[in-house]
Copies of this chain bind each other. A is one copy, B any other.
């Protein structure tokens, strides 16, 4: 199959590596010709260029740009496509993307591979990034069944854990497990930095160990990515944050009232619940 990839970063490049090794013809488009040359040199693509026009030959196109560039890219791409071309994306928020894209290109299937590394860019692209990790497709009523089938087959060939759901349920779910943790974790770092005694702050920095490292990791991540997910998933993120705030208030109340029994019951509940989120994951 001729597969186009727009945006040759971590996700686009890793998709190219896997799909090309499965025998597909990979056409890559990047805004920078140096990235195109690197993708060719690493054998990530069969052909690469800076113009979307080269995707006229594609059967399926993966849009792997940052979230904010997905819809403008689809708009630019449309004049070059034949009517049968299927377009999919890898954006981490689905409702606004699918709504806008399906309105201008019915053969659009929203997608979200839940895979990544701490690195970004084409240099970070690796084989088997998606294997064992969740990959969600979010078709809507108007999405042609054949378009879903074609993208599903490609996605399943990556050996990922495949899921189908509505864009709305996707966005609710990722608000809980992906976007809320960023704010929770950023708030932790910010709170620590508000310690007013410089000796205590320095000591806290010296004594911080793996507990702080892990809890603060996603709050210390890419600021642009954090803002983008908050902009695009604002409603669901706020809904999860309000629930979170109530839960923290409840924990504070238990501690204020020295209600150690209630605190222990709550911590037993969280200890018991956490494994449900981690079962059969690729880590």
Interface residues of chain A, those whose CB is within 8 Å of chain B, are 114-116, 133-134, 136, 161, 163, 165, 169-170, 172-174, 176-178, 180-195, 197, 199-200, 203-224, 226-227, 230-231, 234, 237-238, 240-252, 255-256, 258, 260, 263-264, 266-271, 273-279, 281, 283
- Contact of A219 with B274 at beta-carbon distance under 8 Å, contacts A255-B238, A260-B231 already known: yes
Which residues of B sit under 8 angstroms from A277, Cβ to Cβ?
189, 192, 204-205, 208, 212-213, 216
**Chain B, residue nearest A117 (CB):** B210
Asked if A181 and B211 sit within 8 Å, CB to CB, the answer is yes
Nearest neighbor of A186 in chain B, beta-carbon distance? B270
- The smallest beta-carbon distance between A227 and chain B, in angstroms, is 5
A263 touches B214 (CB 8 A): no
Q: Which residues of B contact A180 (CB under 8 A)?
A: 188, 191-192
Within the complex, the shortest CB–CB distance from A70 to chain B, in Å, comes to 18
Q: List 10 A-B contacts (CB under 8 A).
A: A161-B206, A172-B195, A173-B204, A180-B191, A180-B192, A186-B266, A190-B270, A192-B277, A219-B270, A238-B256
Query: A234's contact among B177, B197, B255, B274, by CB below 8 Å, is which?
Result: B255
A215 contacts which of B185, B193, B247, B255 (Cβ < 8 Å)?
B185
Q: Is the CB of B212 within 8 A of A214?
A: no
Contact among B172, B214, B223, B249 with A214 in the assembled complex (CB-CB below 8 Å): B214
Given contacts A191-B246, A208-B281, 8 further A-B contacts (CB under 8 A): A178-B211, A184-B184, A186-B266, A187-B247, A190-B250, A216-B270, A223-B264, A230-B260
B188 contacts A267, CB within 8 Å?
Answer: no
A203 touches B248 (CB 8 A): no
Contacts of A269 in B (CB 8 A): 190, 193
Please report the C-alpha to C-alpha distance between residue A177 and residue B114 in the assembled complex, in whole angstroms. 29
Does B186 contact A267, Cβ atoms closer than 8 Å? yes
A173 adjacent to B230 (CB under 8 Å): no
